Structure 1
C-alpha cells in the first residue's frame, strides 16, 4: 500500500514504482483522495479513499516556508486522513506500506497494526539537515511529530520518527543532487543521509493524460526551452514568469518556449510561446525536442531533465529547491538565478549560457549516465521485495 500526499511531484515517481511492482505480479493500493489521485494514476489504479483537505498558501521561502508546509499541510493532513489510513491498513492487510516522508499517517497506521513499512523521499527536504538550517527548526518538527504519535494513541516508549523507516528509505534521485556530506560534493553543515537510505535514480513510466499537446506548433528551426515552476508555485510564480517571458522575447528569433502556467499568466506571455496550464513534461523530454529546462528546482523536474541529458536554469523558490539548485550548478549541468530578483537580462544570459555552451550539455549527459546506473524502478522494486520479506 502506498501512502503519499496528493501532489504530482510525489505521485509521478511512485507511479513508475507501482507499474514495476505490477509487472512482477504484486498488487498496489493507493491510500489518498480519489478526486486528486485518479487523474494522475489512471482508471486502473486501486484507490483506498481517505478524503482530503484544501492546501493553504505557503510562504515563499526560507524557514517560514518549511514551517507553513508542516503546520498548515503535513500535520492537519495527517490528522484528517489517519482514521481512513488506519482502516485501510487493517482491512486491506498489506505486506508492506510505502510511506512518503510528508504523509506520516502511513507510518503511524503501519506501526499500530504491526505491518512493515518503508519510507519514500521524492524530495530532499528530510534527507539530512540542510546547511544553515537552524537546529531549532528540527526540534520544532520533532515536537510536531511526537505530538502526532501521542494523538494517534501510540505508546511513547515505542516512538520512532515516522519520516525514517528503520528498514528502507527510497530516494528517486542521485546522491550528487542531495544536500548531504557525501559523493565528493560536500556542503559545509550538511549531514549524511539517514541510515537505510537508497538513492535509486529516476522512476519514470508512461503517465495517464487527457491533455493533447500541440506538437505541430513547435518550430523545427528554433531551439526549445521548457518552462515549468511546479503545481504548488502557481500563486507566486506570475512575476517571475513575466520576466522569463521578456527574456524569451529577446531570444525569439532562435528560441521557442513551451510554458506551463496558469491561464491568467499565459495571456500575458509573448506571441509564439506554446503555453498550456499543463504540459507533458516527460513526453517532451523523451521526444528530444527540449534543449533546456527553466524550472524551480523541484527534485522531480530536475531529475527528469538530467535523466534525458538536458541542462537547466534553476530559480529555486523554497524548501529543498535551493539545495538542489546549488548541486546542479556545482555539477556544471545548469545555472542558478534568483527567483525573486533576477531581471529579464539575467534570465536571458542564463538561458544563453546553457543553450550555447557545450559544458552544461556534457555535464547533463554525464549525470544522465550516472542516474541510469542507479537502477531506477527495477532496483527500487527489488529493495521493496527484500523489505517485505
Structure 2
C-alpha cells in the first residue's frame, strides 16, 4: 500500500479529474490525502479523505476581465498562480511532513507542490488537467516564455531547490495529461515524460446539481428537434451576459429545429420567458445531460470541452481568456467544432455556427473520433496504475531522508 498526497488549487476544473484518480487509488486500498483549501474541496473529494489546509490567494474571478493575450496570461500568473504558490507552500510543507507521502500528485499550475517536493526530496508527478501548458504558450512569443521562466525561477529561489533546472510545471518523473493527442495535437518538445490518459470522469462527483432534481421530461421529449446545451464557465457568466443573451436569441430564431438548455447561475438573463424551445436553469447535471445533447456552446473551458467530446458531442466555442483560446484551437484543429468571437458575436453568428455544427456530419464524426481516443486512453484507472508503478519504484529505491 502506498500513500499519495494530491496538491490542488481552489478550482473545480482542476480538482474533478484527479478526484476520480484519488477514488480509484483508494479503491485499490492506497492511502490518499489532499493539500488545498478545504472550502474549495468540499463536495469535490471523498468526505472521509484527510485534507491538509493551505492558505489561499485572491480569487481568480477577481482578476480584470478585459485583458486578452499576453496581458491576460501575465495577470493570471502575477495575480493568482504566483501568490497562490507563496500562500500554499507552508501548508503543503506541513502536509508532506505529517502525512509522509510516497508520491505527490501536483496540479500543473499549483507550483507550490512541485517546489516543496523538490526542496524536501519527495518524488512528485504533474497533473495536467488542462493541456494548454503542454501545447506551449498561447501567445507563443520568446518574450513571454522568458517572462514565465523568470517568474518560476523567482518562485524556486523562495520555495524550492535553487539548483534545479527543469520547468516545475512538468515533473521529471511523469506528467499525466487528461486528454489525448487526437485533441491536443503533437506535444511540444522538452516536456519530460508525458502520458495521455484521457479525461477522468467515471468516479468524479458532478456537484453542479442532483440529476434527480432535473426536469428530464422536458429534455427527453421526442419532437424531432436537436438539443443544444449552452454552458459558460461559472466565473464568466456575468461578463458573458451579452454573449449568453445572443445565444438565447439565436436559439429562439430556430425554434422549429432547435431546443436548448441554457445554464444561467447568476440570473443574467432575467426572469424566464414562456419559450417552448428554451429551458433556462441555474445549474444542470452536466455529465448526464451531455449524453442526450447534440451540440454544446461554451467558452472552451477544458472541463466542458472534454466532457462534451467524451460523449461525442461537437461544439461551438467562444474563448475569452486563460487557456480557453488554446483549447478552442484544439477543438477546431480536430474538426470537432467551430469558433466564434466572444466579444463581437451576435445571435445570427451563434445561430449560423450551430447550423454548421449540426448540419454537417463531419463535426459529429470528429467528436466521436476524439471520444473513442478518450475512452481508449483509460482515464482514472490508467492514471492510477501509472502512479502505483512510480510509488512502488520509489519505495524500492528510497530517498535519503528529507532535505529542508
Question: TM-score normalised to the size of structure 1?
Answer: 0.91
Correspondence 1:231-380 to 2 at 5 A: 231-267=234-270, 271-272=274-275, 273-285=278-290, 288-380=291-383
Quote the residue 2:56 is aligned against.
52
Secondary structure of 1:98's counterpart equals: strand
Q: What displacement does 1:41 show? A: 2.0
1:230 Cα shift? 1.3
**Unmatched runs of 5 consecutive residues or more in structure 1:** 183-190
Distance between the aligned counterparts of 2:271 and 2:345, measured in 1?
Answer: 19
CA contact (8 A) 1:174 1:201 kept: yes
Verify: 1:29 aligned to 2:33, yes or no: yes
Give 1:1-389 correspondences, 5 Å limit. Answer: 1-55=5-59, 56-59=62-65, 60-130=67-137, 132-152=139-159, 154-178=160-184, 181=186, 191-192=188-189, 194-206=191-203, 207=205, 209=207, 211=210, 212-218=213-219, 219-221=221-223, 222-267=225-270, 271-272=274-275, 273-285=278-290, 288-388=291-391, 389=393
Measure the CA separation in 2 of the matches of 1:348 and 1:9.
28
Q: Which moved more, 1:87-96 or 1:294-303?
A: 294-303
How many residues get paired? 377
CA displacement, residues 364-383 of structure 1 (integer Å, 9 cap, x when unaligned) = 11221122121211211111
CA-CA distance at 1:93 after TM superposition: 0.5
CA distance in 2, matches of 1:270, 1:345: 20
Cα separation, 2, equivalents of 1:383 and 1:77: 28
Structure 2: how far apart are the matches of 1:237 and 1:131? 21
Per-residue deviation at 1:195? 1.8
Compared with structure 1, are the counterparts of its residues 142 and 31 closer, same or farther at alpha carbon in structure 2 (3 Å cutoff)? Answer: same
List structure 1 segments (4+ residues) > 4 angstroms apart after TM superposition. Answer: none
Contact 2:19 2:45 in 1 (8 A): yes
Q: How far, CA to CA, are the matches of 2:173 and 2:94 in structure 1?
A: 23
Contact 2:238–2:266, Cα closer than 8 Å, also in 1: no
* Partner SS, residue 119 of structure 1: strand
Residues 355 and 271 of structure 1: CA distance in aligned 2, closer, same or farther (over 3 Å)? farther
| Bigger mean CA offset, 253-262 vs 94-103 | 253-262
Structure 1, residues 241-288: CA drift from partner, whole Å, max 9, x if none?
111111011122332211222333142665433223322211212xx3
CA-based RMSD of the aligned residues comes to 2.0
Q: CA shift at 1:7, angstroms?
A: 0.8
Using the size of structure 2 for normalisation, the TM-score is 0.88
Query: What SS does the aligned partner of 1:146 have?
Result: helix
SS of the residue corresponding to residue 173 of structure 1 reads coil
